[in-house]
């Protein structure tokens, strides 16, 4: 059973890889034409939703694997807080994504929404890198 959960955990991690490249994608959207911006922001919105499903997979499989291991309580608290922060930021990011899409369609300035997306994408990338560090170097009892 552990092996199945581990495989699912790795698949969830692959879905989260989107957050590592997201800052670069968001950074290049302002250089695009309006139609291309709309397509890029819509693609980011869909990919964010898929990555959120990856976060759910991480929560379920990681919770199971934590219950089977001999990890320090502080490590479990740290990775849980990081995961919950990633959930929160990914969810908060959906509002600027919707605002940017609506603004592009209405032909108004979306600079503020893109700036928020850039900030949230950087935070998500950093949180994921910190999470990867704690996964590679877990703290055992």
Domain of residue 23 covers 2-136
- Split into its structural domains, the chain has a count of 1
Asked if residue 10 is part of any domain, the answer here is yes
**7-62 confidence digits (pLDDT tens):** 999 999 999 999 999 999 999 998 899 899 999 999 999 999 999 999 999 999 99
Asked if residue 17 is part of any domain, the answer here is yes
Question: What is the separation, in whole angstroms, between the first and last Cα of the chain?
Answer: 23
Q: Give Cα 71 distance to the centre of its chain.
A: 24
* Percent over 90 (pLDDT), the chain: 90
Nearest to 131 by CA among 51, 13, 23: 13
Please count the other Cβ atoms lying within 10 Å of the Cβ belonging to residue 51. 21
Alpha-carbon gap, residue 102 to 108, rounded angstroms: 9
Asked if residue 38 is part of any domain, the answer here is yes
**125-140 confidence digits (pLDDT tens):** 999 999 999 999 998 8
Write down the pTM of the prediction. 0.90
pLDDT at 140: 85
**66-117 confidence digits (pLDDT tens):** 999 899 999 999 999 999 999 999 999 999 999 999 999 999 999 999 999 9
User: Phi and psi at residue 71, in whole multiples of 5°?
Assistant: -95, 155
Alpha-carbon gap, residue 73 to 98, rounded angstroms: 38
Asked if residue 141 is part of any domain, the answer here is no
- Contact present, 100 and 113 (Cβ < 8 Å): yes
Question: 140 by DSSP, 3-state: which?
Answer: strand
């Amino acid at each position: 059973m552990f092996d199945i959960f581990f495989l699912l955990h790795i698949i969830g991690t692959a879905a989260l890889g989107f957050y590592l490249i997201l800052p670069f994608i968001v950074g290049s959207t302002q250089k695009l034409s309006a139609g291309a911006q709309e397509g890029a922001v819509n693609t980011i919105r869909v990919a964010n939703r898929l990555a959120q499903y990856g976060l759910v997979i991480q929560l379920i499989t990681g919770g199971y694997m934590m219950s089977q291991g001999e990890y320090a309580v502080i490590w479990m608290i740290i990775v849980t807080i990081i995961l919950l922060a990633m959930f929160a930021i990914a969810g908060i990011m959906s509002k600027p994504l919707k605002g940017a899409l609506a603004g592009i369609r209405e032909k108004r300035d979306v600079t503020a929404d893109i700036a928020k997306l850039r900030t949230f994408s950087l935070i998500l990338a950093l949180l994921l890198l910190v999470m990867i560090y704690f996964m590679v170097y877990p703290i055992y009892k």
